[in-house]
Structure 1
Protein backbone atom coordinates (compact mmCIF):
# COMPACT_ATOMS: atom_id res chain seq x y z
CA UNK A 1 0.00 0.00 0.00
CA UNK A 2 1.33 3.42 -0.91
CA UNK A 3 -0.46 5.17 2.00
CA UNK A 4 -1.25 8.50 0.33
CA UNK A 5 -4.23 10.61 1.38
CA UNK A 6 -6.92 11.94 -0.94
CA UNK A 7 -6.03 15.43 -2.13
CA UNK A 8 -9.58 16.79 -1.76
CA UNK A 9 -9.66 19.43 0.96
CA UNK A 10 -10.93 18.04 4.25
CA UNK A 11 -10.80 14.38 3.14
CA UNK A 12 -8.61 12.01 5.13
CA UNK A 13 -9.43 8.81 3.22
CA UNK A 14 -6.69 6.80 1.53
CA UNK A 15 -6.15 7.58 -2.16
CA UNK A 16 -6.83 4.76 -4.64
CA UNK A 17 -6.88 6.66 -7.97
CA UNK A 18 -4.93 9.38 -9.73
CA UNK A 19 -6.67 12.14 -11.69
CA UNK A 20 -4.95 13.93 -14.57
CA UNK A 21 -6.38 16.76 -16.67
CA UNK A 22 -5.66 17.18 -20.38
CA UNK A 23 -6.75 20.76 -20.97
CA UNK A 24 -5.95 20.69 -24.69
CA UNK A 25 -8.36 17.81 -25.30
CA UNK A 26 -10.92 18.86 -22.63
CA UNK A 27 -10.48 15.53 -20.90
CA UNK A 28 -10.05 14.23 -17.36
CA UNK A 29 -8.38 10.83 -16.92
CA UNK A 30 -8.93 8.76 -13.76
CA UNK A 31 -6.77 5.68 -13.35
CA UNK A 32 -5.14 3.49 -10.74
CA UNK A 33 -3.03 5.28 -8.13
CA UNK A 34 0.29 6.22 -9.69
CA UNK A 35 3.41 4.70 -8.16
CA UNK A 36 4.83 8.12 -7.32
CA UNK A 37 3.34 11.54 -6.76
CA UNK A 38 3.47 13.56 -9.95
CA UNK A 39 3.11 17.31 -10.38
CA UNK A 40 -0.23 18.42 -11.85
CA UNK A 41 -2.06 15.25 -10.81
CA UNK A 42 -4.47 14.61 -7.96
CA UNK A 43 -4.74 11.50 -5.79
CA UNK A 44 -8.36 10.64 -4.98
CA UNK A 45 -10.10 8.22 -2.62
CA UNK A 46 -12.74 5.91 -4.12
CA UNK A 47 -15.57 8.20 -2.92
CA UNK A 48 -14.22 11.27 -4.74
CA UNK A 49 -13.00 9.34 -7.81
CA UNK A 50 -16.50 7.92 -8.41
CA UNK A 51 -18.28 11.24 -7.88
CA UNK A 52 -15.90 13.43 -9.86
CA UNK A 53 -17.48 15.78 -12.39
CA UNK A 54 -16.04 17.87 -15.22
CA UNK A 55 -17.14 21.03 -17.02
CA UNK A 56 -19.78 20.73 -19.74
CA UNK A 57 -18.19 19.67 -23.02
CA UNK A 58 -15.39 17.73 -21.30
CA UNK A 59 -15.15 13.96 -21.22
CA UNK A 60 -13.98 11.61 -18.46
CA UNK A 61 -11.82 8.59 -19.29
CA UNK A 62 -11.67 5.93 -16.57
CA UNK A 63 -8.94 3.31 -16.66
CA UNK A 64 -9.51 0.31 -14.43
CA UNK A 65 -7.35 -2.67 -13.62
CA UNK A 66 -9.15 -5.91 -14.47
CA UNK A 67 -8.61 -8.98 -12.32
CA UNK A 68 -8.24 -12.30 -14.11
CA UNK A 69 -9.61 -14.35 -11.23
Structure 2
Protein backbone atom coordinates (compact mmCIF):
# COMPACT_ATOMS: atom_id res chain seq x y z
CA UNK A 1 0.00 0.00 0.00
CA UNK A 2 1.51 3.28 -1.14
CA UNK A 3 -0.64 5.63 0.91
CA UNK A 4 -1.31 7.60 -2.30
CA UNK A 5 -4.60 7.49 -4.13
CA UNK A 6 -5.31 7.49 -7.83
CA UNK A 7 -5.32 11.01 -9.32
CA UNK A 8 -8.52 10.39 -11.30
CA UNK A 9 -11.50 12.32 -9.98
CA UNK A 10 -13.69 10.32 -7.57
CA UNK A 11 -11.37 7.27 -7.64
CA UNK A 12 -10.42 6.07 -4.16
CA UNK A 13 -8.15 3.16 -5.14
CA UNK A 14 -4.46 3.02 -4.24
CA UNK A 15 -2.04 4.26 -6.88
CA UNK A 16 0.34 1.72 -8.45
CA UNK A 17 1.78 3.72 -11.37
CA UNK A 18 2.91 7.25 -12.25
CA UNK A 19 1.98 8.89 -15.54
CA UNK A 20 3.98 11.76 -17.02
CA UNK A 21 3.27 13.61 -20.25
CA UNK A 22 6.04 14.85 -22.54
CA UNK A 23 4.05 17.36 -24.54
CA UNK A 24 6.93 18.45 -26.81
CA UNK A 25 7.25 14.85 -28.06
CA UNK A 26 3.54 13.90 -27.97
CA UNK A 27 4.34 11.12 -25.55
CA UNK A 28 2.88 9.66 -22.36
CA UNK A 29 5.21 7.71 -20.06
CA UNK A 30 3.66 5.25 -17.60
CA UNK A 31 5.93 3.61 -15.06
CA UNK A 32 5.99 2.19 -11.58
CA UNK A 33 4.77 4.46 -8.81
CA UNK A 34 7.37 7.14 -8.11
CA UNK A 35 8.88 7.11 -4.64
CA UNK A 36 7.28 10.46 -3.84
CA UNK A 37 4.64 12.60 -5.54
CA UNK A 38 6.05 14.47 -8.52
CA UNK A 39 4.73 17.80 -9.78
CA UNK A 40 3.05 17.58 -13.18
CA UNK A 41 2.68 13.79 -12.89
CA UNK A 42 -0.37 11.70 -12.14
CA UNK A 43 -0.60 8.65 -9.89
CA UNK A 44 -2.93 5.97 -11.25
CA UNK A 45 -4.56 2.84 -9.85
CA UNK A 46 -4.44 -0.50 -11.69
CA UNK A 47 -7.72 0.08 -13.54
CA UNK A 48 -6.84 3.55 -14.80
CA UNK A 49 -3.27 2.56 -15.72
CA UNK A 50 -4.56 -0.35 -17.82
CA UNK A 51 -7.21 1.80 -19.53
CA UNK A 52 -4.86 4.68 -20.34
CA UNK A 53 -5.65 6.35 -23.65
CA UNK A 54 -3.85 9.23 -25.31
CA UNK A 55 -4.69 11.58 -28.18
CA UNK A 56 -4.39 10.21 -31.70
CA UNK A 57 -0.80 10.40 -32.91
CA UNK A 58 0.67 10.23 -29.40
CA UNK A 59 3.03 7.50 -28.29
CA UNK A 60 2.73 5.58 -25.00
CA UNK A 61 5.86 4.27 -23.29
CA UNK A 62 5.13 1.70 -20.55
CA UNK A 63 7.95 0.86 -18.19
CA UNK A 64 7.40 -2.50 -16.55
CA UNK A 65 9.23 -3.95 -13.57
CA UNK A 66 10.17 -7.55 -14.32
CA UNK A 67 10.46 -10.31 -11.75
CA UNK A 68 8.00 -9.02 -9.19
Task: Mark yes or no: TM-score above 0.5.
Answer: yes
Deviations along 1:22-51, one digit per CA (max 9) or x if unpaired, are: 001000000000000010000000100000
CA distance in 1 between counterparts of 2:62 and 2:21 reads 12
TM-score, structure 2 as length reference:
0.96
5 Å-filtered alignment, 1:1-69, equals: 1-67=1-67
Structure 1 stretches of 5 or more lacking a match? none
CA RMSD in angstroms, aligned pairs only: 1.0
Structure 1 consecutive aligned stretches of length 4 or more whose deviation exceeds 2 Å: none
Count of aligned pairs: 68
